C-alpha cells in the first residue's frame, strides 16, 4: 500500500497537468501568436451567489408564513413539483396551495443547516434545463395544526431561474412517511 501512494500522486499530477488549458505558440516572421485551443464551454459552472440569496430569502419568508413575499420571486408560468411526480402549475396555483397549507395544516416550519449551491448549466447532461439552478439541502422541522405533532427530515430542492431571474421551476425531494405520521392522530 505504501508503494502505491507515490504512483497515485504521480498519476494525479499528470492528470492535473493534462487538464490544464492547452495553448500553442506559433512563430510567423518576427511576431509571436498564442492560440487558445481549449474546448468549448464547460457543461456546468458556478452561478452568481445572488440566486442562492433569492432562495434563502424565500425560505425565510415561507417559514414566517409570508407566502406573498416568497411568491414574489416566482414567474407566472412556474411549476412546483415533488419527487413523487405531483406538481402544481402556475404562480396562482402554487400560491393558493401553499397559502392554504401554511394557514390550515402547518403550524410552524423551520429550515436549518441550509446549504445552497448556485449552478449554471450550459450543456444538459440528461433532461435538466440549461440556465441557472440553485441546489439546496436543508433540515426541515414542521409542526402540524391538526395533531400538534412535529416531524424533522432532510430535504433537497432544485430551483430553476428563467431569463428574467424569476423562479420558473422548483423540484422538492422529501419523504412523505414522516409527514404522514405527524398528520395522523
Please report, for the domain that includes residue 169, its CATH number.
Answer: 3.10.450.50
Sort residue 54 into left (φ over 0), alpha (ψ -120 to 50) or beta.
alpha
Q: Which has more pLDDT, 68 or 37?
A: 68
**Is residue 62 a part of any domain in this protein?**
yes
pLDDT at 14 over 50: no
The whole domain housing 139 covers 44-183
**The pLDDT value given to residue 2:** 46
**Is residue 130 a part of any domain in this protein?**
yes
**The pLDDT value given to residue 21:** 43
Domain count along the chain: 1
**Is residue 4 a part of any domain in this protein?**
no
The 10s digit of each residue's pLDDT in 132-141 is 999 999 999 9
**Is residue 7 a part of any domain in this protein?**
no
Q: How far apart are CA 149 and CA 8, in angstroms?
A: 52
Amino acid at each position: 500500500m505504501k508503494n502505491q501512494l507515490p504512483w497515485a500522486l504521480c498519476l494525479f499530477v499528470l492528470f492535473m497537468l493534462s487538464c490544464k488549458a492547452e495553448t500553442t505558440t506559433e512563430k510567423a516572421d518576427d511576431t509571436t501568436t498564442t492560440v487558445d485551443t481549449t474546448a468549448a464551454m464547460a457543461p456546468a459552472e458556478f452561478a452568481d451567489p445572488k440566486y442562492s440569496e433569492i432562495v434563502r430569502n424565500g425560505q425565510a419568508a415561507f417559514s414566517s408564513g409570508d407566502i406573498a413575499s416568497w411568491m414574489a420571486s416566482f414567474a407566472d408560468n412556474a411549476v412546483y413539483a415533488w419527487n413523487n411526480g405531483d406538481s402544481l402549475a402556475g404562480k396562482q396555483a402554487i400560491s393558493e396551495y401553499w397559502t392554504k397549507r401554511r394557514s390550515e395544516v402547518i403550524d410552524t416550519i423551520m429550515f436549518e443547516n441550509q446549504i445552497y449551491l448556485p449552478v449554471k448549466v450550459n450543456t444538459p447532461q440528461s433532461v435538466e434545463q440549461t440556465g441557472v439552478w440553485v441546489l439546496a439541502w436543508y433540515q426541515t422541522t414542521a409542526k402540524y395544526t391538526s395533531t400538534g405533532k412535529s416531524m424533522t427530515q432532510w430535504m433537497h430542492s432544485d430551483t430553476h431561474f428563467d431569463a428574467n431571474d424569476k423562479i420558473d421551476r422548483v423540484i422538492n425531494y422529501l419523504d412523505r412517511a414522516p409527514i404522514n405520521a405527524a398528520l395522523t392522530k
